[in-house]
Structure 1
Amino acid sequence: MNSSVNSTKNTENTKVTVVGLGPMGRAMAAAYLDAGYEVTVWNRSAGKDAELVARGARSVADIAAAVAASPLVVLSLIDVEAMYGTLGDTDLTGRVLANLSSDLPDKARAAARWAEERGASYLTGGVNVPPTGIGQEGSSIFISGPRAVYDEHRTALDLLAATDYRGADPGYAQLYYQLNMILFWTAYTGWYQAVAVARANGLTASDILPYAGYTADTMRGFYTGSAALVDADDHRGEEERLTMCAASVEHILHTAADSGVDTTILAAHAELYRRGVDAGFGAESSSRLIGLLAAEAA
């Protein structure tokens, strides 16, 4: 390959279009500008690109021009439906769509088929950090889709956050991401619940923060200790028993109720633990609850 072809390819590899300029999209476009990329931006509503344009980004009038501007089109939208509405019948031939918007695994798979039918390659991404984490060390993004496409554009994607490739199935990046979100949102809601009870008893969020941090840190040990046992379907109650756990959940439920705080979330937890005991698993590990949850999902 001659030098002029190499030069053209290198130039193309430093072109990127960012579609969707909410806080996350703006952070992504800024990271590319910081890295010296030729950045084209587009947003459905006007006015969100001013700062980026001032820094050297190119703003275009319509989505067709935005897609045509770069071989890699990074999408930062609310969900897959927003992608359909945004791209519409735009010519996608030869483009790579890296959709870093949150959605369901099956919707990611359908989106990949939709893109491929229109001549584009498709990568799914799940961003594991808020906008402030983009471009920062320790940040990560789940990516899935065709390996060759990922390899070609990995350098550009790694500029946003270290990519964790989860395989060719376009739904897998979203599956891993949503699993993380299950952990995140239940824990964060638990923080709100604890703060509500604390405030009802004259304490502040700052008062309980050190203990919340300690509990969050210890959770890694619980996950690590139980993963191999759960995978082996080993639910012996050697370290903890479901009856003990159920009693503890009842105690937090009634503490919240006595404090005059809403107990909807805690009541749901308590009911699950009660069902585990009623099913005869009281002497076994609380990991037996996974079977009850799986049965409900079947």
Structure 2
Amino acid sequence: MDDDTFEKSRLTLLGLGAMGTALARAWLAAGHPTTVWNRTPGRAEPLAAEGATVAGTAAEAVAASGLVVVCLLDDASVGEALAGADLTGRDLVNLTTGTPAQARARAEWAGERGARYLDGGIMAVPPMIGAPGSGGYVFYSGSRALFDTHHSALAIPAGTRYVGEDPGLAALHDVALLSAMTGMFAGVSHAFALIRKEDVAPEDFAPLLVNWLTAMAPYAYGIAGHLESGDYTKGVVSNLAMMVEGNSTLLRTADEQGVSAELLTPFMALMERRLADGHGDEGTTGVIDLLTR
């Protein structure tokens, strides 16, 4: 079957946390008959009032639909919830946050039980689900046939980005972007700590910070070019030698302001190691080689 054949296809959703509930509401609003299950039954009651069918067990929920979407706490929860379910002939879409290795193992596990498998990494928070123009999307990897068959349904809660047949690629993309975000949050935290005790209003400083980070974000394209070409010096404006020298000012300022530099020093230490290895004319791309085991 293709997308158009079951635009309003029946589906099952296991897991009704904040994200699962948002997903269910998006599918219900779009007219998809939706069966739901949650370990704590009370969470299903509001959805029942909105038209969802509530299953008493996960196995009953799985039996109700050909498309089964799972959005639970962790990979172990997925295994526990589906332990007694017959997955033969089912299309299993796992939107539970996990690692690439867990996704690959879960795909093999599903295949042994007769199911096609698609893993997903949600790049959105619940308020972005089912909200056109929110910018939210989901990485998908695994069975391309499953993705193509159910694309119209999968595209309702958020945008879709298929990244490959390897089931682990969605989780890898998800975690890579979240890791970059975590690093950005560290820098933002340090910046606000520096001004915390001064006569600088955080709300006045915030737009300066956002504009600066936005202007610096395209630096990622340069790193990508370096990694593709193997030439870590191409297009470098501020080289590693200059940046390591400048780090001393950042550290001195932190000390003067009574701010710990612990969010910055791990990266600075890697920069210094790369410089000591004789790569002062590069940018920071070589740090990636130090991180890769």
Normalising by structure 1, what TM-score? 0.90
Amino acid at match of 2:94: N
TM-fit CA distance, 1:193: 2.3
Instruction: Tell me whether 1:284 sits opposite 2:282 in the alignment.
Output: yes
TM-fit CA distance, 1:219: 2.9
Which stretch shifts more, 177-186 or 259-268? 259-268
Query: CA RMSD, aligned part only?
Result: 2.0
Match of 2:272 in 1: 274
Contact 2:25 2:47 in 1 (8 A): yes
Q: For the residues of structure 1 that align with 2:247 and 2:79, how far apart are their CA atoms?
A: 44
Match of 2:81 in 1: 86
Amino acid at match of 1:118: R
Amino acid at match of 2:140: I
Match of 1:243 in 2: 241
1:160-199, Cα deviation, whole Å (9 max, x unpaired): 2121111111111111111111211111222222222221
Amino acid at match of 1:170: P
SS of residue paired to 1:281: coil
Instruction: Tell me whether 1:224 sits opposite 2:197 in the alignment.
Output: no
1:104-141, Cα deviation, whole Å (9 max, x unpaired): 11110000011111111110001111111112333211
TM-fit CA distance, 1:66: 1.0
SS of residue paired to 1:239: coil
TM-fit CA distance, 1:37: 0.8
Match of 1:10 in 2: 6
Q: For the residues of structure 1 that align with 2:280 and 2:156, how far apart are their CA atoms?
A: 50
Amino acid at match of 1:165: Y
1:234-261, Cα deviation, whole Å (9 max, x unpaired): 1227412101112333332332333223
1:270-295, Cα deviation, whole Å (9 max, x unpaired): 2112112222212322222222222x
Contact 2:240 2:284 in 1 (8 A): yes
Match of 2:126 in 1: 131
SS of residue paired to 1:260: coil
Within the candidate set 162, 172, 178, 1:165 is matched to 162
Amino acid at match of 2:75: V
Normalising by structure 2, what TM-score? 0.91
Which stretch shifts more, 99-108 or 261-270? 261-270
Amino acid at match of 1:190: G
TM-fit CA distance, 1:232: 0.5
Match of 1:25 in 2: 20
Amino acid at match of 1:106: A
Within the candidate set 198, 203, 206, 2:195 is matched to 198
Contact 2:193 2:259 in 1 (8 A): yes
Match of 1:121 in 2: 116
Contact 2:10 2:65 in 1 (8 A): yes
Q: For the residues of structure 2 that align with 1:220 and 1:125, how far apart are their CA atoms?
A: 25
Contact 1:128 1:142 in 2 (8 A): yes
TM-fit CA distance, 1:202: 4.4
TM-fit CA distance, 1:204: 4.1
1:72-91, Cα deviation, whole Å (9 max, x unpaired): 11111222122012212321
Contact 2:59 2:84 in 1 (8 A): no
Q: 1:247 to 1:170 in 2, by over 3 A?
A: same
Instruction: Tell me whether 1:77 sits opposite 2:75 in the alignment.
Output: no
Match of 1:68 in 2: 63
Amino acid at match of 1:198: I
Q: Give the number of the structure whose residues are more often helix, by fraction.
A: 1
Contact 1:253 1:270 in 2 (8 A): no
Match of 1:177 in 2: 174
Q: 1:254 to 1:17 in 2, by over 3 A?
A: farther
SS of residue paired to 1:50: helix
Q: For the residues of structure 1 that align with 2:197 and 2:265, how far apart are their CA atoms?
A: 18
Q: 1:259 to 1:86 in 2, by over 3 A?
A: farther
Give aligned-pair identity as a percent. 37
Contact 1:242 1:286 in 2 (8 A): yes
